[in-house]
A and B are shown apart, each in its own frame.
Chain A
Amino acid sequence: MIYIVYGIVFGFLVTAVMGLFASWVDRKVTARVQYRVGPPLLQPLTDIIKLLGKETLIPAGASRIAFFAAPVIGLASVVVVSTLLWVNNLTPAKTFLGDLIVVVYLFTIPSISIIMGGFASKNPYASIGSSREMKLILGYELPFILALLVPIIKAGYTIRLGEIITYQVHNGIFIGSFSGLCAFIVVMMCVQAKLGLVPFDIAEAETEIVGGSLIEYSGVGLALYKLMKNMLLFVLPFFVMILFMGGLRFEGIHILWGLLKFIGVVAIITVVRNTNPRVRVDQAVRFFWGPMTIIALLGVVLALIGR
Chain B
Amino acid sequence: MGVKLNALLKSPWVFHLSTGSCNNCDIEILDCLTPRFDIERFGMVLAGSIKHADVLLVTGSANRQSMERVKRIYEQMPKPCLVVAIGECSLSRGLFIHSYNCPVPIDKVIPVDVYIPGCPPKPEAIIAGVVKLIEKVKASQKEAKK
Q: Are the CB atoms of B10 and A46 closer together than 8 Å?
A: yes
**Chain B 4-34 interface 0/1 with A at a Cβ cutoff of 8 Å (1 = within):** 1101101100000000000000000000000
The contact sample of 27 A-B pairs, CB cut-off 8 A, is: A27-B40, A36-B35, A37-B41, A40-B41, A40-B43, A43-B10, A43-B43, A46-B10, A46-B11, A46-B43, A47-B11, A47-B43, A50-B7, A50-B10, A50-B11, A53-B4, A53-B80, A55-B79, A55-B80, A56-B78, A57-B78, A214-B52, A215-B48, A215-B49, A215-B51, A217-B51, A218-B52
Docked complex Cα distance between A210 and B49 (Å): 6
Q: Are the CB atoms of B11 and A222 closer together than 8 Å?
A: no
Docked complex Cα distance between A214 and B50 (Å): 11
Q: Are the CB atoms of B51 and A49 closer together than 8 Å?
A: no
A301 is an interface residue with CB less than 8 A from chain B? no
B123: min CB distance to chain A, Å: 14
Q: Are the CB atoms of B48 and A206 closer together than 8 Å?
A: yes
A219: min CB distance to chain B, Å: 6
- Chain B residues at the A interface, C-beta cutoff of 8 Å: 3-5, 7-8, 10-11, 35, 38, 40-41, 43, 47-49, 51-52, 54, 76, 78-80
Interface residues contributed by chain A, number (CB under 8 Å): 31
Considering only CB atoms, which chain A residue lies closest to B51 in the complex? A218
A-B contact count (CB 8 A): 81
Q: Are the CB atoms of A54 and B43 closer together than 8 Å?
A: no
Docked complex Cα distance between A27 and B40 (Å): 10
**Chain A 139-182 interface 0/1 with B at a Cβ cutoff of 8 Å (1 = within):** 00000000000000000000000000000000000000000000
- Chain A residues at the B interface, C-beta cutoff of 8 Å: 27, 31, 34-40, 43, 46-47, 49-50, 52-57, 206-207, 210-211, 214-219, 222
A48: min CB distance to chain B, Å: 8
B43: min CB distance to chain A, Å: 5
Cβ-neighbour of B40 out of A39, A49, A206 (below 8 A): A39
In terms of DSSP, what is the predominant structure of the interface of chain A? loop
- Chain B residues lying within 8 Å of A36, measured Cβ to Cβ, are 35, 38, 40-41
A217: min CB distance to chain B, Å: 6
Supposing A210-B49, A216-B51, A222-B52 touch, asked if A49 and B7 sit within 8 A by C-beta, the answer is: yes
Known: A57-B51, A210-B49. 4 other contacts (CB 8 A): A34-B35, A50-B54, A53-B80, A207-B48
Docked complex Cα distance between A69 and B38 (Å): 37
- Chain B residues lying within 8 Å of A39, measured Cβ to Cβ, are 40-41, 43
Docked complex Cα distance between A40 and B43 (Å): 8
Considering only CB atoms, which chain B residue lies closest to A35 in the complex? B35
Cβ-neighbour of B54 out of A49, A54, A56, A216 (below 8 A): A54
Q: Are the CB atoms of A31 and B7 closer together than 8 Å?
A: no
B126: min CB distance to chain A, Å: 17
B94: min CB distance to chain A, Å: 29
Supposing A50-B7, A50-B54 touch, asked if A38 and B41 sit within 8 A by C-beta, the answer is: yes
- Chain B residues lying within 8 Å of A53, measured Cβ to Cβ, are 3-5, 7-8, 80
Q: Are the CB atoms of A219 and B78 closer together than 8 Å?
A: yes
- Chain B residues lying within 8 Å of A217, measured Cβ to Cβ, are 51-52
Docked complex Cα distance between A54 and B79 (Å): 6
Q: Are the CB atoms of B40 and A211 closer together than 8 Å?
A: no
